[in-house]
Amino acid sequence: MRIIPAIDIIDGKCVRLSQGDYNTKKVYNENPLEVAVEFEAHGIQYIHLVDLDGAKAKHIINYKILESIAAKTNLKIDFGGGLKSNEDLKIAFDCGADQITGGSIAINDRETFLGWIETYGAERIILGADVKEERIAITGWQQESDKKLIPFVKDYQQKGISYVICTDIKKDGMLKGPSIALYKRLLTATETNKTVVSMSGVEDVKVPGINLIASGGIANYEDLHALQEIGCEGAILGKAIYENKISLKQLEHFILTS
């Protein structure tokens, strides 16, 4: 399971929110590049970089920070927040993003989002499925849509999406554990049948349908093992790192031994 620390940006600074509420903003470092360099020094290879200013403004804003981290580290960057147009997407990739996450646009402008998948490939486009009471939330989690999680993900799975970040907003930043039961249901619902030939003959087996990246609520080292055990492909951590609930040494150990 990939370990993916989050770096959330407001006003060029590394911050964390609780349950997506901008009024709960807490600044952890005024230099996001410094944070990224430290992550890389502890064996981390991936980060989830979120432009919270962009999410609110509905267009990319903090692309210079993306560009700086991409140029000065070897981290593979998933970038999200405020990507609403083909121009936004081009800026993100030109500035060094390896993947982007689209959330609100997958609801509000399905045609453009499907065009991104076709143009850049499903490996580079992640579906952001952020949920409140199992309904998809959009616009930096400020609005709730009428879309339910599992049908929403399965629909895009049929369109080729293979990577999904699912955040339970109620869990985010609360350090009370991830939504294991929710992730289990989502993984089960997106399994696909595959016919294989084995020593005992021809049989149908279930294979994973999506690469699920869990996000929100991770509080301790044991949570990582719990997510790995149910089949998550990745785990995004934020406040647990910044509040020293999980040390970078522990993450380094997890990466080396998993």
Active site residues: 8, 130
What 183-192 contacts at long range (C-beta under 8 Å, 24+ apart), as own/partner pairs, is: 183/212, 183/214, 183/227, 183/230, 183/232, 184/230, 185/150, 186/149, 186/150, 186/153, 186/210, 186/212, 187/212, 187/230, 187/231, 187/232, 189/150, 189/153, 189/154, 190/150, 190/153, 190/154, 190/157
Pairing of strands 234-237, 2-10: parallel
Q: Could you write out the DSSP letters of every residue in 192-204?
A: EEEEEEETTEEEE
Report the alpha-carbon distance of residue 112 to residue 70 in Å, rounded. Answer: 26
Report the alpha-carbon distance of residue 101 to residue 165 in Å, rounded. Answer: 8
Cβ(88)–Cβ(82) below 8 Å: yes
Report the alpha-carbon distance of residue 28 to residue 237 in Å, rounded. Answer: 14
